[in-house]
Amino acid sequence: MKAIFPGSFDPITLGHLDIVNRGAKLFDCVIIALLNNPAKTPLFSIAERITMIKQETEKLPNIQIVEYDGLLAELAKKLTVNCILRGVRNEKDCSYEIAMAQANKTLNNNLDTIFMVSNPNNSYMSASLLKEIANAGYPNFDDSVLDNWVSSAVKQMLKNKYSK
């Protein structure tokens, strides 16, 4: 069975990668779907995010990466995939994720969402909080703290953005 793991991945965190790694053991194929949302101004371009996702997942044989805009439910139809994989970190995530899963089910009745509970170490960290810390911290902080949340390659990319 295939699953789509959708997100903004701006940037991809160790929390995302934990779900991808665990998902890759459960599903025959995990399709990482990167949302290209013109309404948002991301820190990293689509090309930068694809590069980092490729680097971070290169050891996993059953991963595909796609970029999408528009509705996730339509992407699932196009790819003939009936399962969405999402990580949930805490109660706040649950209410948002359940609403999104129900909306996606309404849009595409074949589509089910499977939730995977995050590793406790990742329960409070988000890409937004990470960017806030990096933005406020660079250029003069001990960025080893970021090793808790991103790979060294992604940390370097954050440093390049915020040290300018």
By the criterion CB under 6 A, which residues form the site for ligand PNS? 6-8, 35, 71-73, 100, 103-104
Nearest approach in angstroms of CB 8 to ligand PNS is 4
CA 132 distance to own-chain centroid: 17
- What are the CA-CA distances from residue 20 to residues 49, 77, 113, 124 (Å)? 15, 21, 15, 18
Between 38 and 139, name the residue whose CB sits nearer to ligand PNS: 38
Helix (H) or strand (E) holding 137: helix 127-137
Nearest approach in angstroms of CB 95 to ligand PNS is 13
Between 48 and 138, name the residue whose CB sits nearer to ligand PNS: 48
Contact 4, 84 (CB under 8 A): yes
Spatial distance between the Cα atoms of 45 and 51, rounded to a whole number of angstroms: 10
Between 93 and 138, name the residue whose CB sits nearer to ligand PNS: 93
Between 26 and 71, name the residue whose CB sits nearer to ligand PNS: 71
Nearest approach in angstroms of CB 136 to ligand PNS is 22
